[in-house]
Structure 1
Amino acid sequence: MGRMGVDLLLFLFLNMLTGITSQNTENLTIIVNGSKTIAETDDNFVCATLDWWPPEKCNYNQCPWGQASVLNLNLNHSTLAKAIKAFGSFRLRIGGSLQDQVDYGVGDLAQPCLPFEKKQGGLFGFSNGCLSMKRWDDLNLFFEKTGVIVTFGLNALKGRQQKKKGVWGGRWNYSNAFDFIQYTVSQGYPVDSWEFGNELSGHGIGASVDAKQYGKDLIALKSMLDELYNNSSPQSLILAPGGFFDQSWYAHLLQFSGDRIVNGMTHHIYNLGPGDDPHIASKILDPKYLDQIANTFINLQLTIEKYGPWSSPWVGEAGGAYNSGSQQVSNKFLNSFWYMDQLGMASKYNTQVYCRQTLIGGNYGLLDTNTFMPNPDYYSTLLWHRLMGIDVLSVRVNGSPYLRAYAHCSKDNTGITILLINLSNSTQFNVTVQNDVGEYKTRILEKSANQQEYHLTAENNNYLNQTILLNGSPLELTGDGDIPSLDPIFVGDSPVSVGPLSIVFVVMPDFDTSTCN
């Protein structure tokens, strides 16, 4: 497209934006401090889960999992591979509720290697299931082809006995895990991190284990990894406990496991409530409600600083709404407001990795369970991954709480990238960006022809739509089934116009910052 065509597209898009929001406009200022970073994330901050749930997993009279399990997902589907490859490198967590019922089909496994089945009285209503080494081989071939970085969740209930309802005791029997990891190492399969258990911390979900015993078992896991990897460097990380944050339990785990055993403290977030909650939409668009989860990030960070400064916080699983997500919201554009705000907030508190529930499966998949087509959150995730660097900057918003703002050093570029989230359904915010140059002084930025903007909106202004627009154009797979290019508009101006119920990434390569350049 020629320059005239680009200018026409920009003119039409901005006029559309102005027409939608002409009745309510508010001017406000955000101030970015580019002189120092306040936090840092991992290079592969965004992540998604591949879960174990079989097709029989149902909630609220619907069964949204289909063939999306670790055991049955079609690894040859071209859209699946293309969707992952678009990230360049992408972290995938293998785990979920059933991981503590997974046997590994290797070594001296006493029973046949069979899939999960419905079982009356079984944990979560299912029997144990088994990962065959043929399937593990196929998965690793897929990981290699698509650039996946693997985090694998181990069965941490093996060998324990149920002492009373919801409480399990006894030592972890690691023999099957030993054989599995030994096989993995022998085949040269790279596993970046091993996560120990799923939602067994605190009161647990379905089952719980005492923090002292959990800590002892993590020491055993560390010793096992040292042996199997021959103390090589770098060695796979150890993550735990993959549960809901309980300050006392997490502190005790760090104390009982000891120095440099747990590299990442993983916790889960489902702060929107159950998937059938009729108030999910209003929660997502309520800035006070979104702010509540900040206490979890703050308290986990403080707990790690006090009891385990060698470790770091990870969000091991987050789906917004639990029980497979919300059929009405989780796969719609509206969910991106919760999700992008979560990524921005988590990164402010040194969260290294944020794993979305799920890549595919349930209602909250980045990809549709049946068609493999990208849902709106897929595209917002891809933009975050491509634009937001690892260094997090401080941002102050002088104005409405319905305008959320986060800033990072740009990824693979100079300057900064700002994420702006407009939670208002009726107000356009005209945002002026100022540079905090220290000593309580700020400087309004000069116009720059290099400023790039990515405006995400819903088709027909319906936030419960599954079609997402980028700068006014729908994001759809190409005729060849490829992920579309995500092209910005070059506005070269401040303020930035942020329409009602829109999400905007603003890349400012000329932002003067000693930290990012």
Structure 2
Amino acid sequence: MEFCVSLFLFLASISAIFAQYVQESELVINATLPLAHTDANYICATIDWWPDEKCNYNHCPWGSSSALNLDLSHPILAKAVQAFERLRIRVGGSLQDQVVYNVGDFSGPCHPFIRMKGELFGFSRGCLCMDRWDELNRFFVKTRALVTFGLNALHGRHQLKKGVWGGNWNSSNARDFMKYTISKGYQIDSWEFGNELSGKGIGAMVHAEQYAYDVIELRGVIDSLYQEFQPKPLLVAPGGFFDKQWFAKLLKVSGSEIVDVMTLHMYNLGPGVDPNLVKNILDPHFLSRASITFGDLRQTIQRNGPWASSWIGESGGAYNSGGLHVSDTFVNSFWYLDQLAMAAKYHTEVYCRQSLIGGNYGLLNKTTFVPNPDYYSALLWHRLMGTGVLVVERINAGPHLRSYAHCSKGKAGITLLLINLSNQTEFQLKVHNILNLNLPTTKPNNGSFTHRLKSMFSWVGSKSTDEKLPREEYHLTPQDGNIRSKTMLLNGVPLQLTETGDIPDLKPAMVDVSSPICIAPLTIKFIQFPSFDACGCK
């Protein structure tokens, strides 16, 4: 019996090996001139306003993660933010247009959000007291965060009909809040106007022309209050879903140099309860649809407001708090890293993840503060991918291999990001520098793929190929091969906090540059080539 079981396992393993298809592909990297540039602090994450009573699909995933009640003293939280050196943090979300600031002439009661039927998103108005604002800023200073704060853009307006708001924005409460912020010496990188009020809006909308007049007023407030500051905080708007006509009118009516950054919200995976969520994440054609929106936004800005840059102001993949047991697992990094890379190709300068903590899509667990897999994906991006976005030409590479390249961050050469969405195909790659494609080549006697691959690595730099020029590989896999695991492995080692609660070292595997480049099914790799001749990255 024992022999039969052993024979069965052996035959099963042989079957699995032969079932895995190997595809030989080639990538040509053009590092002579970047296609686009991101901000040096491209990675951003949101601290939202949702209270613990916020529920979706009979599940309440927010806990105490709101800007009003998040435990800012938790040591893991500070260490997780500090690991980025200068993490962008956006304070905002659906309830920001119901937040009032307990400062200046404000005289009402200052209470947190209360569930209230019939109100916007089912919650009452909430209040930010200045003691809490002081606590938040002490945390921002301690962690060296770059702060974007989303202002209430509905203050003073009235509802014309269901979902449609009109009237002028009352800037007095926001002005008093900004005055207080300046008086305390708090550094705000950017002020964002409103949340998801563009187009048809989510819960509420404001017509583009009225919105434009209001951002003109906000520009006046910023310029007046910060007249002795250089640089002044950026004015960011509208923080909503893309509507071509609405976005174009906002830029046209507000005029030159009013809006510094156009922010887009994107949840291209659909609702968090969708049973096809994992299937969609692993579908390259589904993921690529996002490029249409990125391209349309880029075109709209170029035609109507070329002075403005573009950010992804909020994106969590699946909306309504993300997907339970999906958004906080390894599989979500296929979507997240692909989105980061795709957006960068379309001149997106900052990408804000929903959320830093809270919901199913938090980078950190809402209860333990332990990082989820996407946290490590974001941290690796931040540390490895520079601002220069490079063109990658693909030869015989199927759609399930996603390939992106940037100038390396803080060092010479390039960094390649490979994402294998296939569950059965391993890709073996040759990588070429476009500068060397016109070099004469001699057909090798040995026709094997490995031999041909080794013969191609003169692209690495001007040094002799006889020298050992290692590349640095960061291979990401799920624990036990389960793509819905909450534990990510780096080069086979689980990424876990140290005994003192510190973020673990993210060490690469040093690999001989002439060895084959392989990316196994359903895995991710960052690969740094420090000797790659990248004249456009200097």
**Shorter-normalised TM range:** over 0.9
What is aligned with 2:507? 487
What is aligned with 1:3? none
Cα shift readout 1:258-313 (whole Å, capped 9, x = no counterpart): 11011100010101000100001011111110110101000100110110010011
What is aligned with 1:499? 520
Secondary structure at the counterpart of residue 87 of structure 1: coil
State yes or no: 1:341 paired with 2:338: yes
Secondary structure at the counterpart of residue 352 of structure 1: strand
What is aligned with 1:460? 480
Q: Which amino acid aligns with 2:403?
A: A
Deviation at 1:438, TM superposition (A): 7.9
State yes or no: 1:445 paired with 2:452: no
Q: Which amino acid aligns with 1:418?
A: L
1:25 to 22, 25, 36: 22
Q: Which amino acid aligns with 1:432?
A: K
State yes or no: 1:305 paired with 2:295: no
Q: Which amino acid aligns with 1:516?
A: C
C-alpha separation in 2, matches of 1:31 and 1:208: 46
Distance 1:321 1:21, change over 3 A: farther
C-alpha separation in 1, matches of 2:125 and 2:18: 54
C-alpha separation in 1, matches of 2:315 and 2:391: 24
Secondary structure at the counterpart of residue 536 of structure 2: coil
2:127 to 127, 130, 149: 130
1:201 to 174, 198, 201: 198
1:150 to 134, 143, 147: 147
Secondary structure at the counterpart of residue 214 of structure 1: helix
State yes or no: 1:188 paired with 2:208: no
C-alpha separation in 2, matches of 1:172 and 1:472: 54
What is aligned with 1:161? 158
1:37-436 equivalence runs, <5 A: 37-398=34-395, 399-436=397-434
Cα shift readout 1:39-80 (whole Å, capped 9, x = no counterpart): 000011010000000000000111000000000000000000
Q: Which amino acid aligns with 1:421?
A: I
Deviation at 1:432, TM superposition (A): 1.2
Q: Which amino acid aligns with 2:493?
A: S
TM-score, structure 2 normalization: 0.91
Q: Are the aligned partners of 1:433 and 1:495 in contact in 2 as well (CA < 8 Å)?
A: no
C-alpha separation in 2, matches of 1:122 and 1:403: 46
C-alpha separation in 1, matches of 2:228 and 2:94: 31
C-alpha separation in 2, matches of 1:422 and 1:94: 34
C-alpha separation in 1, matches of 2:338 and 2:372: 17
Secondary structure at the counterpart of residue 297 of structure 1: helix
Larger Rg: 2
Secondary structure at the counterpart of residue 256 of structure 2: coil
Q: Are the aligned partners of 2:30 and 2:433 in contact in 1 as well (CA < 8 Å)?
A: yes
What is aligned with 1:34? 31
C-alpha separation in 1, matches of 2:516 and 2:431: 7
Aligned-pair Cα RMSD in Å: 1.5
Q: Are the aligned partners of 2:476 and 2:490 in contact in 1 as well (CA < 8 Å)?
A: yes
Q: Which amino acid aligns with 1:512?
A: D
C-alpha separation in 1, matches of 2:497 and 2:186: 32
The answer for unaligned runs of 5 or more in structure 1 is 1-15
Q: Are the aligned partners of 1:21 and 1:499 in contact in 2 as well (CA < 8 Å)?
A: no
Q: Are the aligned partners of 1:156 and 1:172 in contact in 2 as well (CA < 8 Å)?
A: yes
Secondary structure at the counterpart of residue 183 of structure 1: helix
Cα shift readout 1:157-182 (whole Å, capped 9, x = no counterpart): 00000000110000000000000000
Identity of matched residues, %: 57
Deviation at 1:236, TM superposition (A): 0.2
C-alpha separation in 2, matches of 1:221 and 1:25: 57
Q: Which amino acid aligns with 1:67?
A: S
Deviation at 1:26, TM superposition (A): 1.3
State yes or no: 1:475 paired with 2:495: yes
The answer for unaligned runs of 5 or more in structure 2 is 1-12, 442-455, 459-464
C-alpha separation in 2, matches of 1:115 and 1:465: 35
C-alpha separation in 1, matches of 2:498 and 2:411: 27
Deviation at 1:497, TM superposition (A): 1.1
Deviation at 1:445, TM superposition (A): 2.7
Secondary structure at the counterpart of residue 92 of structure 1: strand
49-58 vs 447-456, which deviates more? 447-456
C-alpha separation in 2, matches of 1:343 and 1:120: 37
Deviation at 1:439, TM superposition (A): 8.4
Q: Which amino acid aligns with 1:433?
A: V
Q: Which amino acid aligns with 2:163?
A: G
Deviation at 1:233, TM superposition (A): 1.8
Secondary structure at the counterpart of residue 162 of structure 1: strand
Cα shift readout 1:95-127 (whole Å, capped 9, x = no counterpart): 000000000010111211110000010100000
Q: Are the aligned partners of 1:449 and 1:490 in contact in 2 as well (CA < 8 Å)?
A: no
C-alpha separation in 2, matches of 1:20 and 1:380: 29
C-alpha separation in 1, matches of 2:300 and 2:219: 22
Secondary structure at the counterpart of residue 309 of structure 1: coil
Deviation at 1:495, TM superposition (A): 3.0
C-alpha separation in 1, matches of 2:317 and 2:438: 38
Q: Are the aligned partners of 1:426 and 1:500 in contact in 2 as well (CA < 8 Å)?
A: yes
C-alpha separation in 1, matches of 2:384 and 2:494: 20
TM-score, structure 1 normalization: 0.95
What is aligned with 2:452? none
Cα shift readout 1:209-248 (whole Å, capped 9, x = no counterpart): 0101100100100101111112532000000000000000
Q: Are the aligned partners of 1:21 and 1:427 in contact in 2 as well (CA < 8 Å)?
A: no
135-144 vs 446-455, which deviates more? 446-455
445-454 vs 419-428, which deviates more? 445-454
Cα shift readout 1:472-501 (whole Å, capped 9, x = no counterpart): 111100111110000000112353111111
What is aligned with 1:11? none
What is aligned with 1:511? 532
Secondary structure at the counterpart of residue 387 of structure 2: strand
Secondary structure at the counterpart of residue 25 of structure 2: strand
Q: Which amino acid aligns with 1:515?
A: G
Distance 1:21 1:321, change over 3 A: farther
Q: Are the aligned partners of 2:100 and 2:128 in contact in 1 as well (CA < 8 Å)?
A: yes
C-alpha separation in 1, matches of 2:436 and 2:300: 31
Q: How many residues are aligned here?
A: 500
Distance 1:469 1:69, change over 3 A: same
Cα shift readout 1:309-346 (whole Å, capped 9, x = no counterpart): 10011000000000000002100000000000000000
C-alpha separation in 1, matches of 2:150 and 2:382: 23
Distance 1:440 1:200, change over 3 A: farther
C-alpha separation in 1, matches of 2:425 and 2:355: 32
